[in-house]
Every structure is written in structure tokens, then in C-alpha cells.
């Protein structure tokens, strides 16, 4: 975040939170002497504003039918505003700098900006509130640690699967068309992706395909080709000479991964404009049959994309690539965090309006509560309402509810917590949520493949490191700039060690020291789940 924005926000928050404690953690006891004017009259309908980002192909309308349903059910005047996720960081920064904050503020991750704004007093401290709500109170401590700053909880985390997150997906039909086998190492993968680029894998007689889809706008490099946990830049898997766990970003295995990408780029198997390509554009290219390998998750996705690819390429078959065996003999993918993805903060001013805060937390608790598959039927009023009503927001097919395509504005779930807090991975059964033939084929294959794949428990997901929260995203961005130049040939790979040393000197080693100290103190060991 630029210095000017930080100063503006800090000035605003100093005026807004005169009653804060010395560590900037908001108190949940209203300071009557500094209380602002009521946010609404006692006999009026409370207005609840909300800003967030979405990766979905369609943004829920700010005044859709589902908004009216939410208003009626909870007795509020709901004012949501969604943006595409790759535009959202800039929108959020502008909103935070304005000082006119919504009641609810969404984040994709608890990144350094979340930490800074929490410390500046922008968000409501939730420690003493969550015990009042049946589902929120059951969220594991590890999840709360991820949304805590200096011991204070500042957000409601959204549940996410550890197993069925983004995985490398390949056109198996293209492999079959070219007589190629599923790749098991980087040499084989490079040969496959170059063949996908040059050898007309879809048999349409045109030179219109690329091997790998990759982007890097507002999000760092997405997604590269980390084909096992050891090559994953986000995994704390390897150790330095002092025996400390270190971030995958600066490891020699990540260097091997980047070298692979540079060779692919030189061979023309990655789009020349990938550093300025949006993830949504690359995803669309994959689902219109232009790219042979990308990343997708077999859970919580829009079937419309699969239906579109199937119509363009009726013989399409998609498969998750099993992880490669690493030099240490291990293989597996990194677990999708510690079971959360995305979070919602509450405006700190709600400390003076506990009724509105209770309404918001009650809504989020209700929308997070797990509904078993056998109860996801029109006869269940909670489920039926959350999904917009049978025949409107969803349909019953083969005895299972299936969301109607492009009906985001009709389903209340798309406006609040869209994923139930599942009691375990086993109850998910993601194949039950899809009916499109290609989507079902992909999810079924993914479930079967991932059943035999180990998931690495990333130890940093289970601690709260203030230094890492504050500095890591900036360090990662600077290192990504080096990596991008290396991939496109503007910086030699020989600069890798110098870039890694820069990372360490600018705060990376301090983060490593703190992380390892916290892991030892809490007795947390890396391992496989």
C-alpha cells in the first residue's frame, strides 16, 4: 500500500477510535463519550453495506432478487457491492482510504493490508462475540489464528476444502490424440506442452493452441506448474543450512520450476503476453479449448464453463495430473491452506451499534451452517431459501440440487457465505453438485485421483506470525518481479541467488526466524495429511 494511502487511513482511524487500547485492538465495550450518532433510527430498518470480490463469471447484482429476499428475511436494507477479484484490491484500497467504510468488508486472504488496517483500528474485534453463535463458535482455533492480529480476531473466515482446491488440469483427449502419456516429470511435461502448441492436439487443422495457461495481474504468478509440494513457492517444506524451514519461494526446487517455465516461454508454449493477462481471460481461453493445461478445482465452480467447452469440443476429457516424485522421493500437493479461503471483516464503528453487529454475525452464522446432502431438497426451507427456490436459483436433477447457470443474483448464498462450514472433507461429495457431463467426468476423475494423493500440511498455516503477516506479500511481489523477468528472458537465471539474498536481507530472514521460533514454541511439525 502506498505511503499516502496509509497516512490518510491512519489519520481517519485515529479520529474514529479514540477509545482503543494501546495495541490498537478495538474494544467491544462502547465508549459512550466518543460514540458517534446512531447509524439508523431505532425504529428504522438497519442499512447494512458490504464490499467484496468474486472470481465468479458473473457479479451478483447490487439490487437482485436475492437482495430483496435477504432484506425480508433479516429485516434489513442490504447494500452489497461486488467486483471481479482482480479489480477488487484497487477498489478496496480506495474505499479504505476514503474513511467511509462499509459495515462488511471482504478479503481474499489475510494479507499485509489486512494486518495494517486491523492494527490501525479499521475492523471490529470479535474475540468476545463469536461464542454466541452456534456455527461460528465451532470453527477450529487454527482458522481463527489465520484471521487474528496480535491476538485479536478481526474477521469471520470462510470454510474451504483442503483437498479439492486448485490442481493442475490437462486435456487428456489431447494426450490421446497425440499418442502421449500422462507426464510424470518436468521433462515429459515440457515435451507434452510443446506438442500441445505445435502439433494440432485438437485435430481442427489450425495452429490455434498453447500448452500452458498462466497469468500475473494483481495476484502474482497464477499458476505456473508446481507439480508437487517441493516445487510450490507457497510451501514451507525445505530447510536451510541452519535447519530452519524456509519459504518455497527461494528454494532451488522453485528455481527448477521457474527454469521450466522459462524454457516453455522460449519455446512459445506460453502466451507472450502472460505477464499482463488477467486470470479470468486465461481461464476463458482454457475453457474455449485454446490451452492444454491450466488449474481448476473440482469443487465450488461454475458449470457453465464446462458446458461451453463441451459444446466446442464434444470429445473433451479433463484430468488432474498426479504429482511428480521429488528428489527426496516424496510426492503430493500442498493442502489448500488450513481450511479457509476468503474472510469478512466488520467495520470497527459497529462497536457502538451492537444490534447491527449481532444481525451481521447472525446472518453469517446462519449461512455457514452445514446442511447435509440428504437435506438439500426443496422441502427444507432453509436450503430452498438460500439457493433461491427450486426452479429459480436451482433445479433438482437425479435427486440432487444443481445451481442454475447465471442465477447468482437469485440466490442469497451468493451474497453472503457461499460455502457451508463442512465438518469434514469426506462429507463434501463434490460430484453430487454437478450434472454437466464434462463437469461430472472431471470431478469424478479428480476425486478418484486425489484419493491416492498425499496432501502436505503447510506448517505456517497453523501459526500467527506478525512479521510474516506484515511483510511477506511485499517480499513475494518483489521476488515475483525477478521471476517474471527470468521467465521472459529479461533477467538471467544466474541472478537467482542474488534475488534470494535480496529477499532474505529485506526481511525474509527475520520472517524465517520468527516462523521457526513460533513453530517450535507451539510444537507444530510439517507433515502429510
Residue 470, Cβ neighbours under 10 Å: how many?
18
pLDDT confidence tier of residue 318, bands split at 50, 70 and 90: very high
pLDDT at 12: 28
**Stretch 338-362: mean pLDDT:** 95
Query: Would you give the DSSP letter of residue 33?
Result: G
Please give the residue that has the higher pLDDT: either 17 or 79: 79
What residue spans define the domains of the chain? 47-162+338-423, 167-334+437-528
Residue pair 224/257 in contact (Cβ under 8 Å)? The answer is: yes
- Quote the CA–CA distance of 175 and 195 in Å, as a whole number: 9
pLDDT at 219: 56
- Note if the pTM is more than 0.75: yes
Question: In this model, does residue 405 exceed pLDDT 90?
Answer: no
With a pLDDT cut of 90, the percent of the chain lying above it is 72
pLDDT confidence tier of residue 381, bands split at 50, 70 and 90: very high
Please give the residue that has the higher pLDDT: either 254 or 40: 254
pLDDT at 47: 96
pLDDT at 39: 37
Question: In this model, does residue 421 exceed pLDDT 70?
Answer: yes
Question: In this model, does residue 199 exceed pLDDT 60?
Answer: yes
Residue 283, Cβ neighbours under 10 Å: how many?
20
Q: What are the tens digits of pLDDT across the range 364-373?
A: 999 999 999 9
pLDDT at 433: 83
- Quote the CA–CA distance of 332 and 327 in Å, as a whole number: 13
**Stretch 206-212: mean pLDDT:** 96
pLDDT at 243: 97
**Stretch 268-278: mean pLDDT:** 93
pLDDT at 44: 80
Same fold, 47-162+338-423 and 167-334+437-528: yes
Question: In this model, does residue 67 exceed pLDDT 90?
Answer: yes
pLDDT at 16: 31
Cis link prior to 112 (omega < 30° from 0)? Answer: no
**Stretch 78-97: mean pLDDT:** 94
pLDDT at 9: 29
pLDDT confidence tier of residue 223, bands split at 50, 70 and 90: confident
pLDDT confidence tier of residue 217, bands split at 50, 70 and 90: low
pLDDT confidence tier of residue 192, bands split at 50, 70 and 90: very high
**SS3 of residue 518 by DSSP:** helix
Q: Which CATH architecture group holds 47-162+338-423?
A: 3-Layer(aba) Sandwich (3.40)
- Quote the CA–CA distance of 193 and 187 in Å, as a whole number: 10
With a pLDDT cut of 70, the percent of the chain lying above it is 91
- Quote the CA–CA distance of 305 and 438 in Å, as a whole number: 10
Question: In this model, does residue 473 exceed pLDDT 80?
Answer: yes
The CATH superfamily assigned to 167-334+437-528 is Periplasmic binding protein-like II (3.40.190.10)
Question: In this model, does residue 298 exceed pLDDT 60?
Answer: yes
- Quote the CA–CA distance of 282 and 293 in Å, as a whole number: 11
Question: In this model, does residue 22 exceed pLDDT 80?
Answer: no
Strand ranges inside 286-443, DSSP E: 291-296, 318-320, 333-334, 340-346, 394-397, 400-403
pLDDT at 301: 86
pLDDT at 220: 64
**Stretch 17-41: mean pLDDT:** 33
Question: In this model, does residue 28 exceed pLDDT 60?
Answer: no
Q: What are the tens digits of pLDDT across the range 3-18?
A: 232 332 233 233 333 3
276: left (phi over 0), alpha (psi -120 to 50) or beta: alpha
Question: In this model, does residue 465 exceed pLDDT 60?
Answer: yes
pLDDT at 56: 84
Question: In this model, does residue 42 exceed pLDDT 70?
Answer: no
- Quote the CA–CA distance of 80 and 89 in Å, as a whole number: 16
- Quote the CA–CA distance of 252 and 231 in Å, as a whole number: 9
For residue 262 the three cell numbers come to 522459462
Nearest to 95, CA basis, from 109, 78, 113: 113
Question: In this model, does residue 146 exceed pLDDT 80?
Answer: yes
Question: In this model, does residue 171 exceed pLDDT 50?
Answer: yes
pLDDT at 32: 32
Mean pLDDT taken over the chain: 88
- Total H helices, total E strands in the chain: 16, 18
Amino acid at each position: 500500500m502506498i505511503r499516502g494511502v496509509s497516512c490518510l487511513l491512519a489519520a481517519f482511524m485515529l479520529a474514529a477510535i479514540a477509545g482503543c487500547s494501546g495495541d490498537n485492538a478495538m474494544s467491544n465495550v462502547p465508549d459512550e463519550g466518543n460514540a458517534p450518532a446512531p447509524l439508523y433510527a431505532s425504529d428504522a430498518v438497519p442499512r447494512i453495506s458490504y464490499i467484496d470480490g468474486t472470481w465468479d463469471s458473473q457479479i451478483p447484482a447490487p439490487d437482485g432478487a436475492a437482495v430483496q429476499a435477504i432484506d425480508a428475511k433479516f429485516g434489513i436494507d442490504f447494500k452489497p457491492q461486488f467486483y471481479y477479484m482482480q479489480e477488487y484490491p484497487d477498489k478496496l484500497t480506495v474505499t479504505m482510504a476514503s474513511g467511509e467504510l462499509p459495515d462488511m468488508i471482504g478479503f481474499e486472504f489475510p494479507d499485509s493490508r489486512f494486518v495494517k488496517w486491523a492494527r490501525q483500528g479499521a475492523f471490529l474485534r470479535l474475540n468476545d462475540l463469536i461464542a454466541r453463535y452456534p456455527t461460528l463458535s465451532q470453527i477450529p482455533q487454527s482458522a481463527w489464528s489465520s484471521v487474528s492480529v496480535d491476538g485479536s480476531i478481526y474477521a469471520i473466515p470462510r470454510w474451504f476444502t483442503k483437498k479439492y482446491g486448485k490442481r493442475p488440469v490437462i486435456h487428456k483427449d489431447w494426450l490421446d490424440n497425440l499418442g502421449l502419456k500422462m507426464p510424470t516429470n518436468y521433462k515429459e511435461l515440457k515435451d507434452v506442452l510443446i506438442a500441445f502448441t505445435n502439433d494440432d492436439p485438437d485435430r481442427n487443422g489450425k495452429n490455434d493452441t498453447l500448452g500452458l495457461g498462466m497469468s500475473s495481474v494483481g495476484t502474482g504468478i497464477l499458476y505456473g506448474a508446481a507439480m508437487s509440494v517441493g516445487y510450490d513457492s507457497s510451501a514451507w517444506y525445505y530447510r536451510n543450512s541452519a535447519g530452519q524451514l524456509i519459504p518455497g519461494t527461494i528454494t532451488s526446487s522453485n528455481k527448477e520450476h521457474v527454469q521450466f517455465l522459462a524454457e516453455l516461454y522460449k519455446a512459445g508454449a506460453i502466451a507472450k503476453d502472460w505477464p499482463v493477462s488477467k486470470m479470468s481471460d486465461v481461464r476463458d481461453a482454457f475453457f474455449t479449448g485454446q490451452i492444454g493445461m491450466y488449474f481448476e478445482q473440482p469443487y465450488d465452480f461454475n458449470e457453465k464453463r464446462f458446458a461451453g467447452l463441451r459444446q466446442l469440443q464434444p470429445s473433451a476429457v479433463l484430468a488432474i495430473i498426479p504429482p511428480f516424485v521429488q528428489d527426496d522421493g516424496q510426492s503430493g500437493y500442498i493442502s489448500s491452506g488450513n481450511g479457509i479461503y476468503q474472510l469478512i471483516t466488520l467495520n470497527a464503528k459497529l462497536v457502538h451499534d451492537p444490534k447491527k453487529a449481532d444481525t451481521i454475525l447472525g446472518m453469517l452464522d446462519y449461512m455457514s451452517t452445514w446442511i447435509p446432502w440428504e437435506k438439500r431438497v426443496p422441502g427444507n426451507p432453509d436450503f430452498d431459501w438460500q439457493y433461491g427456490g427450486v426452479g429459480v436459483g436451482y433445479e433438482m436433477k437425479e435427486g440432487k440440487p444443481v445451481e442454475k447457470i447465471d442465477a447468482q443474483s437469485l440466490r442469497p448464498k451468493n451474497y453472503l457465505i457461499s460455502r457451508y462450514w463442512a465438518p469434514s472433507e469426506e462429507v463434501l461429495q463434490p460430484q453430487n453438485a454437478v450434472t454437466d457431463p464434462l463437469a461430472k467426468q472431471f470431478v469424478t476423475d479428480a476425486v478418484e485421483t486425489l484419493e491416492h494423493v498425499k496432501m502436505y500440511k503447510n506448517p505456517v498455516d497453523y501459526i500467527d506470525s506478525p512479521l510474516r503477516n506484515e511483510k511477506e506479500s511485499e517480499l513475494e511481489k518483489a521476488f515475483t518481479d525477478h521471476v517474471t523477468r527470468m521467465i521472459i528472458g529479461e533477467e538471467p537465471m544466474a541472478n537467482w541467488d542474488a534475488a534470494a539474498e535480496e529477499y532474505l536481507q529485506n526481511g525474509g530472514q527475520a520472517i524465517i526466524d520468527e516462523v521457526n521460533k513460533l513453530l517450535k514454541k507451539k510444537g507444530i511439525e510439517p507433515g502429510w495429511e
